[in-house]
Amino acid sequence: MRQIVSWAKVTLDKEISNEKALEKLYEALEISKPKFDESKLSDYRLNHQEISILLSISFHYSALGDKERAVYIAETLIENREKSRTTEEDRVVFFPALFFNLSNQYGQMGEIKKSMEACRRGLEISREYNNFRFVPGLLFNLASGLCLSGEEEQMYKPYVVRAYHCAYAMGEMKVARDIKRDAEEYFGILDL
């Protein structure tokens, strides 16, 4: 319980610096994994809370500009989940989020092809396990990758439109508004 509370405090604190957040998140992680060694991340048997903490750690490293470390954590979490004997429930809960996070990390690094591959894998897993929570973001990231790769509008526009309508249909109004804003601002698409 202490670990959950520690993670929640960091997550909800909008004033905390990334450095301090990382310090607190590692402290929270060491509650259940004493002497946690990041280089052995793929060997740990992680529970849901520990994965959430590590996703937060990856986010904060990315915010600090340490993109390589953020990607390492994201890739290793996927590897960890793939090689461990995870349940179907575990796959439903985490794989779409892990691939969405990885696609964001690669995109921020300018690794467009890797970002698009993470999106495709995330979309396949989302369909396979009927977990559509991250589909709008994955579709939008895929559209961004296609646009940045020099594809014509007819190739990426359908993904932007689907991302918007998926978010809207799911009741994710903030996500839908963000997609609409970004579609207008970055892609020049006005008719969603």
Mean pLDDT of 141-167: 95
Number of C-beta neighbours around residue 122 at 10 A: 28
The reported pLDDT for the residue numbered 192 is 85
Work out the mean pLDDT of the chain and round it to a whole number: 91
Q: 161 pLDDT exceeds 80?
A: yes
Mean pLDDT of 33-53: 87
Q: 92 pLDDT exceeds 90?
A: no
The reported pLDDT for the residue numbered 79 is 87
Q: Any idea which of 43-47, 102-106, 149-153, 181-185 has the lowest mean pLDDT?
A: 43-47
Mean pLDDT of 7-26: 91
Q: Rounded to an integer, what is the distance from CA 148 to the centroid of its chain? A: 20
Q: In 3D, which of 16, 67, 73 has the Cα closest to residue 41?
A: 73
pTM, two decimals, is: 0.84
Q: 173 pLDDT exceeds 90?
A: yes
Run of H or E residues at 165: helix 153-169
Q: Which two tokens stand for residue 33?
A: 């994994």
Q: Any idea which of 8-12, 21-25, 138-142 has the lowest mean pLDDT?
A: 8-12
For residues 25 and 180, give the distance between their C-alpha atoms in angstroms, rounded to a whole number.
Answer: 34
* DSSP 8-state secondary structure symbol assigned to residue 187: I
Q: 4 pLDDT exceeds 90?
A: no
Predicted confidence (pLDDT) per residue in 109-123, tens digit = 999 999 999 999 999
The reported pLDDT for the residue numbered 114 is 96
List the alpha helices (DSSP H) in 110-152.
112-129, 135-148
Q: In 3D, which of 141, 180, 147, 143 has the Cα closest to residue 159?
A: 143
Q: Which residue has the tokens 């799911």?
A: 170
In percent, how much of the chain has pLDDT > 70? Answer: 99
Predicted confidence (pLDDT) per residue in 60-89, tens digit = 999 999 999 999 999 999 888 877 766 777
b (16+ CB within 10 A) / e for 148-183: eeeeeeeebbebbbbbbebbbeeebeebbebbbebb
